[in-house]
Amino acid sequence: MKTSVAIIGAGPAGLSLALLLHQAGIPCLILERHSRAYVESRVRAGLLEQNTVDLFTELGVAGRLRREGLEHFGVILSFEGERLRIPFDELTGGRHITIYGQQEVVKDLVAACLERQIEIRFEAKAWELHRIETEAPYIQYIQDGTRKSLACDFIAACDGFHGIGRKFLPPGSYIDYQTSYPFSWLGILAETAPSSEELIYTFHEEGFALHSLRSDAISRFYLQVDNTEKLEDWDDSRIWESLEKRLFTPGFKLQTGRILEKSITPVRSYMTGTMQSGRLFLAGDAAHIVPPTGGKGLNLAVADIRWLAKAMIAFYKSGDEQKLRSYSQDCLRRIWRVQDFSHFMTQLFHRIGERESLEYRLQRSKFDYLKISRAYQTSLAENYVGLKEI
């Protein structure tokens, strides 16, 4: 079995790459370890940058996203009950974000791949990568309990943080960078109308909270919790009480409802300083994880794919290998910017130290500066909506 580009992972990165390559007439095939139902129901991110929506539009997969996605032109930042609206469209020459659940993105991309006859092998787990330093690499994978091989020209490891791709970069060929934080995010999806038209990021002495949404009837919330805490420690009433307390400001009324889904995700920053070796290329969470506070993970994955598709298309169309060689460098400029912004948002809104600690005073000072400085607001806004080019 042979294809030109073998893609591991049917997440936003792998699916977008397949669609871009197919559009350019380059054969590819996706191996995905889970079932279609599983990948289409995984609840994760919800914030799409304009660049991401633009790419989905170019791919002709944004019909439902444009109908059902919610365009936002501002965001509310809150510090101990005091609120500040950042009108990011005004500050960035009209740029905005769209709220649309990642599982809806994945459903749309999977449907488009299948419609365009791009093969996705579900429940096929990549196991080992071979000969990545040659022009004829191959993947060994397991499907239906049987070991199989897929030969290709290139391997695109879009297999997420826990995937195998990164493990096949030659030892010593890259530096990795990481930080873990002493907290996690408890996320819920609830059957309740949003209590705010715009997202609210809030610092509270008990910890961070985020009010996000999915539709007129479904809201999404996150709470900072300790790394040691388990879902069992958080029954529904404790979650609603904490959200109420942390999001409080005079006149604000939190709408509650049935909780449809709950999960806890550790907050971490991770990245590889090199995202390629020979004919193996990493993209998305396979190469980097950012704290979710800026809503960037999915957007960064798609930004990598733009570069990777461009490089592969140049190779197949004209034999030009320059963009393949500069792939990591091209991606890393944005990745470092996003790492910094996500870290900044995380440090600004999470409970890090005691009330009179240095950390707390720095957080307070940043928020007070945001209140008076259009320049500081503009910097936050342009990173939040996503830099057009970097």
Which of 370, 369, 349, 371 shows the shortest CA–CA distance to 360? 349
Work out which of 9, 284, 291, 294 binds ligand PHB, going by CB under 6 A.
Answer: 294
| Between 62 and 286, CB nearer to ligand RFL | 286
Work out which of 204, 295, 330, 349 binds ligand RFL, going by CB under 6 A.
Answer: 295
Site string for ligand PHB, 246-285 (x = CB under 6 A): ----------------------------------------
Residues 6+ apart with CB under 8 A from 265: 184, 185, 187, 292
Cβ at position 13, least distance to ligand RFL in Å:
3
Say which entry of ligand PHB, ligand RFL, none residue 343 contacts (CB below 5 to 8 A, set by partner kind).
none
What is d(CA 19, CA 306) in angstroms, rounded to the nearest whole number?
A: 11
Sheet holding 280-282, edge to edge: 119-121, 28-31, 5-8, 154-157, 280-282, 276-277
Work out which of 194, 207, 284, 291 binds ligand RFL, going by CB under 6 A.
Answer: 284
What is d(CA 349, CA 365) in angstroms, rounded to the nearest whole number?
A: 12
Asked whether position 160 contacts ligand RFL by CB under 6 A, the answer is yes
Cβ neighbourhood burial of 278 (10 Å; 0-12, 13-18, 19+): middle
201 is catalytic: yes
Site string for ligand RFL, 232-271 (x = CB under 6 A): -------------------------------x-x------
| Between 26 and 99, CB nearer to ligand PHB | 99
Work out which of 16, 103, 195, 212 binds ligand PHB, going by CB under 6 A.
Answer: 212
Asked whether position 107 contacts ligand RFL by CB under 6 A, the answer is no
148 is catalytic: no
Cβ at position 361, least distance to ligand RFL in Å:
29
Instruction: Given the residues 12, 22, 72, 291, select the one marked as catalytic.
Output: 72
Contact predicate 160/289, CB 8 Å: no
245 is catalytic: no
Asked whether position 45 contacts ligand PHB by CB under 6 A, the answer is yes
Say which entry of ligand PHB, ligand RFL, none residue 293 contacts (CB below 5 to 8 A, set by partner kind).
ligand PHB
Asked whether position 292 contacts ligand PHB by CB under 6 A, the answer is yes
Cβ at position 227, least distance to ligand PHB in Å:
19
Contact predicate 156/3, CB 8 Å: no
Asked whether position 46 contacts ligand PHB by CB under 6 A, the answer is yes
107 is catalytic: no
Cβ neighbourhood burial of 277 (10 Å; 0-12, 13-18, 19+): middle
Which of 365, 147, 170, 390 shows the shortest CA–CA distance to 277? 170
Beta bridge partners of 48: 98
H or E element that contains 58:
helix 50-58
Contact predicate 131/137, CB 8 Å: yes
Pairing assessment for the beta strands 176-191 and 219-226 based on DSSP bridges: antiparallel
Sheet holding 70-72, edge to edge: 47-49, 97-99, 70-72
Site string for ligand PHB, 300-329 (x = CB under 6 A): ------------------------------
The string of DSSP letters for 246-262 reads HH--TT------EEEEE
Which of 38, 37, 20, 36 shows the shortest CA–CA distance to 28? 20
376 is catalytic: no
| Between 72 and 306, CB nearer to ligand PHB | 72
The residues of the shown chain that bind ligand RFL, judged by CB under 6 A, are: 8-14, 31-34, 39, 44-45, 47, 102, 125-126, 158-161, 163-164, 263, 265, 284-285, 292, 295-298, 301
The residues of the shown chain that bind ligand PHB, judged by CB under 6 A, are: 45-47, 199, 212, 220, 292-295
- Provide the annotated active-site residues: 72, 201, 292, 296, 384
